Structure 1
């Protein structure tokens, strides 16, 4: 008789078979039929029972032979499976490498070798072979396919560190298809000719027609050369339609054609330039209508930054800027200032409380323009306050405010914390001399109430949401000049500017123009003349802006550390332990421009324990605004700045160098 172990082994082998359930069903069915037969047809039931007993006895007596045959069957099946597995691995289109603990290739299949036809992989160390393996070995995730490139080919890769295996699949064809889909995406744009109506008005009919024909011919030649559809929709406005591949080529060229176009017409005494807003989507599901809306927003951003530039922005990405390397021309009429003034008066009259905010660490222009707007609210008998952090005032601001009777100023200024208690549905917030939320003393209030912006800095992508009125004029010398024009549009009465307010506004203009040496137009002098007529005291301003001996020494020390680079930039890095106010570094940057060979100057200094500032100046060849924007700041083409947090001055210097070299 066979042992219990053999029977147990027989049962286990039976249970391991793939068709065991079919056997169980047959046996159970047989037993049920037998029981039914015993109850209804006992003779047949007895025969079935005898047959079952004989079958069981046969199995018991021949269990050894059955086990032997099952073992042979299992062995053959296992061998077939193993051969199939090895054949599948060997012939698999997925490349496989098995390597040892010391990174030496122990085994690979032909597919993997075909990916590296010119290299013998077997037996060599992975880190000594193609550089792609060093990249693969660094991959951390062993559960998801990741993309790597080898020459013109693209591979999906999984690196399983635990089993020392690398799997590679060539997906170049799929990657090419996806890339072509990206290239074929629709790109929508608007092109507008800056002040084209004024250019046409300045010419006679024949000249205007000739210039227009020449311009259209050149724009058509440019569009045909880049595969762009261009359609004129009015005198100065065009629609642009292209694919992403054409846009990529234009970005590689940095839209240089429009610099050449501007220079071509400037050489003919025609001040002609173009502003462009371009939009595209990175998503598969998008509409041309949404692209057109985004393109219009991008165009408005380009115009808000002074025009003569291109703004490109996807629906879910940051804006990219090209051009803008010339100072915007001054407008020829005062019409817009009058219209904005009327709209501002309406907004003030419809509000209960007006909060006025300059930027953090305010300068003369910020304080002067804030005091000017405060005067406007008083003329309309409205409750108004200027938001000011009095703990972070420069010495010159403190001296300016001391010119006014303290009793008249005690209810004018409030802290940001006090301002937050006054915000409600009928509160109006007016930002002066800035528009970026991150620079505002009222940053925490921006999304809580309606906002008005009065600024002379080029518009950035960072912009408040609840804006009801925007007055951004990059051509203006200062926000103080823009506010002064509001008063110039009024009749002079006893409620007009006081001597102190006129002095504050004039101080803002003088500081921002570096004593009328830069960014100064005819309207700047008109504003200064008006302020003088209202009693502005230049002697007081001169005393406020006077430097002490220690300041001169500090500026000389900064100049001694100046580095002049071959690209025309000059950089000064202050000592990391020294804390500076904004004034001395800004004045040092201005002084550096007087040195032969310097086209742009940068002064890097520590403003406080956790903040490093950069003051930037330019003579016009180098756009310091775009440089500062890449570091989180902004400003004008020839006057800009930024604040960088939690870095040393040397780290800020390295960031600045990287941006300069990348442009």
Structure 2
């Protein structure tokens, strides 16, 4: 009997100690005992009553402990069962889909919403990759952070808990559609310019000009109405375009083909009209319309700098997207413009304390010759001038030029490397870039951080990468070479006391000859005018021929490249050098020129090993295929029919794969 009583007391105490309120009850009991003892001292009758009450409580607890504990446990068990049932119902009917999987990536459980999302019968026990490969992608790429994904053509927010091996889903279709609608309705601002509009109108009589203008405006209005674009004429040759992102995406999917069609329509009527468009938009909901207008104008300027007849689309700081530009621009250069640019150049040189001249990396004849021409102009203005070069990258023809017996000055006093150039810098130093405009391609790449005033003289189509602090820009894409542009400067100042000497004339003519492939490519009437002037100044064509003589080994390399030619889509000729066998730029370019003479070839590409860590691609075209856009896809640039790119830390075979991707993207 005593054991039973002891067990009963122990059971009560064990249960009591499991309660989180045990210490509070002990505290109350202690206070009660203190009060009771105080009562015994002050008034014994009250103390006895309090003692009897305490004994009664203990007797009650003693006799009813088991019943009380059993009742509590029964209530707790029932509550636990109810909670499990409620949890199962909550999980199963939750607005959050839940999928659980085991260590073998087999589905172990899913609630109703998750099962409806994966839409797979008898999914429990199946491997996730068998149910849908996207489930494995979720496990491999998504962590606890919620991400929006597309699954079975619907949109969900998904979170993945690696520790509990659970995937959580929230339906996001309605919110996604609202976001897309909001995104699609963002404003897009653009400018449309009619290329050479004044010249075209002047070539027509009054009636023809009036009919042409009315017909063209009607065409544009019909197009704008069909495409849901607002168009407003603000000048004779300029229009404002307002549209939304959804319309822009549709036009981009069409590659703005309407403007090529309208150009062809008027070309068939002997009216050479084309259009250049600059478009800007932003993801910033608070963007101001003035900012979009400025960016659209900058994009229009970029389109014009690339030769016109194209569309430039740009969003915020993302790379620009180009459409069109598949025709050679008409020659608009005049003696007046050349004189004005020359005078502006002289003013900049006069205001400078000294002049640093830079061609592009891996210089060719045009780059070095035009640099020597600018050096001549700067020294005639009595300014200290230096040319940045890297002698280790010289081709054979450059070395032959610099060893010419006609040189009348010490080249060691002219040429410096980029590190030495830093010692010549001060706030009034003028940096002149010739035959290039992209800082990343410049021999003076390290100098752009110094905030120098910059002059750009180039004949390549303008790229998005451009120096920020230019005080003078002269880019003429219709010129055969930068040497031609520099020669025109001398042609316009014939009364100067010191015209170009024989060496300088020979160098400039060599630059023209190399860039035009002996006057067979990109050659206009002004090219021959420049060549005629240089010949009159003593340019030695025999010396040029000697400079351009090739080593037998280089000829063999070029012929081997041509022999390795493969065809892609019938009109693309592609060849590649042997891995690890370095080939210079000139040999690669000559091989590309030679491949153009092959039957049915419209574009030729030579992939070659420049150095042990870099691959070069030389591209040529007969005009139907824009190789500049293809090379820009690979980080290069150039002209519609003559372009190049340089790739780092890849193999020749990998470069070929990238080239094929770029060709397919630009078809």
Q: TM > 0.5 between the two?
A: yes
Contact 2:570 2:600 in 1 (8 A): no
| Structure 2 residue matching 1:458: 3-state secondary structure | coil
Specify which of 638, 643, 648 is matched with residue 645 of structure 1: 648
**Mapping for residues 95-494 of structure 1, pairs under 5 Å:** 95-117=97-119, 119-139=121-141, 141-331=142-332, 333-403=334-404, 404-405=406-407, 407-448=409-450, 449-494=452-497
2:639 corresponding residue in structure 1: 636
Specify which of 535, 550, 571 is matched with residue 538 of structure 2: 535
Offset at residue 167 of structure 1 (A): 2.5
Specify which of 499, 503, 506 is matched with residue 500 of structure 1: 503
| Structure 2 residue matching 1:203: 3-state secondary structure | coil
Distance in 1, Cα, partners of 2:414 & 2:505: 17
Distance in 2, Cα, partners of 1:54 & 1:435: 102
Distance in 2, Cα, partners of 1:107 & 1:325: 58
Contact 2:333 2:476 in 1 (8 A): no
Report the count of equivalent residues: 658
2:96 corresponding residue in structure 1: 94
Distance in 1, Cα, partners of 2:433 & 2:215: 43
Distance in 1, Cα, partners of 2:477 & 2:641: 12
Against the structure 1 CA distance between its residues 49 and 568, is the aligned structure 2 distance closer, same or farther, given a 3 Å change threshold?
farther
Contact 2:120 2:131 in 1 (8 A): no
TM-score, normalization: structure 1? 0.94
Offset at residue 446 of structure 1 (A): 1.3
- Superposed CA deviations along residues 527-553 of structure 1, whole A, max 9, x for unmatched, are 111111211111111111122322222
Distance in 2, Cα, partners of 1:190 & 1:647: 40
Distance in 2, Cα, partners of 1:439 & 1:393: 15
Against the structure 1 CA distance between its residues 421 and 72, is the aligned structure 2 distance closer, same or farther, given a 3 Å change threshold?
same
Specify which of 562, 569, 573 is matched with residue 570 of structure 1: 573
Mean alpha-carbon deviation: is it higher for 325-334 or for 68-77? 68-77
Distance in 1, Cα, partners of 2:232 & 2:34: 87
Distance in 2, Cα, partners of 1:45 & 1:346: 115
1:6 corresponding residue in structure 2: 11
Contact 1:2 1:60 in 2 (8 A): no
Offset at residue 269 of structure 1 (A): 1.1
* 1:625 corresponds to 2:628: yes
| Structure 2 residue matching 1:329: 3-state secondary structure | coil
**Mapping for residues 529-608 of structure 1, pairs under 5 Å:** 529-608=532-611
Distance in 1, Cα, partners of 2:121 & 2:276: 53
| Structure 1 residue matching 2:211: 3-state secondary structure | helix
Distance in 2, Cα, partners of 1:456 & 1:280: 30
Offset at residue 11 of structure 1 (A): 3.3
Offset at residue 312 of structure 1 (A): 0.6
Contact 1:357 1:431 in 2 (8 A): yes
Specify which of 73, 76, 79 is matched with residue 74 of structure 1: 76
1:655 corresponding residue in structure 2: 658
Against the structure 1 CA distance between its residues 656 and 28, is the aligned structure 2 distance closer, same or farther, given a 3 Å change threshold?
farther
Distance in 2, Cα, partners of 1:500 & 1:465: 34
| Structure 2 residue matching 1:609: 3-state secondary structure | coil
1:616 corresponding residue in structure 2: 619
Offset at residue 161 of structure 1 (A): 4.1
Against the structure 1 CA distance between its residues 48 and 456, is the aligned structure 2 distance closer, same or farther, given a 3 Å change threshold?
farther
Contact 1:433 1:454 in 2 (8 A): yes
Mean alpha-carbon deviation: is it higher for 197-206 or for 225-234? 197-206
Offset at residue 654 of structure 1 (A): 0.8
- Superposed CA deviations along residues 402-430 of structure 1, whole A, max 9, x for unmatched, are 12447532211111110011122111110
| Structure 2 residue matching 1:446: 3-state secondary structure | helix
Distance in 2, Cα, partners of 1:488 & 1:31: 117
Offset at residue 237 of structure 1 (A): 0.7
Mean alpha-carbon deviation: is it higher for 334-343 or for 3-12? 3-12
Against the structure 1 CA distance between its residues 494 and 110, is the aligned structure 2 distance closer, same or farther, given a 3 Å change threshold?
same
CA RMSD across the alignment: 2.6
Distance in 2, Cα, partners of 1:181 & 1:456: 43
| Structure 1 residue matching 2:19: 3-state secondary structure | helix
- Superposed CA deviations along residues 162-218 of structure 1, whole A, max 9, x for unmatched, are 433332222111111111111111111111111211211222211111111111111
Distance in 1, Cα, partners of 2:128 & 2:562: 53
Offset at residue 56 of structure 1 (A): 5.1
Distance in 1, Cα, partners of 2:532 & 2:29: 112
TM-score, normalization: structure 2? 0.93
| Structure 2 residue matching 1:136: 3-state secondary structure | helix
Against the structure 1 CA distance between its residues 359 and 61, is the aligned structure 2 distance closer, same or farther, given a 3 Å change threshold?
same
- Superposed CA deviations along residues 50-69 of structure 1, whole A, max 9, x for unmatched, are 64664455335533333222
Against the structure 1 CA distance between its residues 559 and 26, is the aligned structure 2 distance closer, same or farther, given a 3 Å change threshold?
same
Distance in 1, Cα, partners of 2:346 & 2:218: 46
Contact 1:589 1:616 in 2 (8 A): yes
Against the structure 1 CA distance between its residues 455 and 66, is the aligned structure 2 distance closer, same or farther, given a 3 Å change threshold?
same
- Superposed CA deviations along residues 413-455 of structure 1, whole A, max 9, x for unmatched, are 1111100111221111100000111110000001211211111
Mean alpha-carbon deviation: is it higher for 126-135 or for 582-591? 126-135
| Structure 1 residue matching 2:413: 3-state secondary structure | coil
Offset at residue 43 of structure 1 (A): 9.6
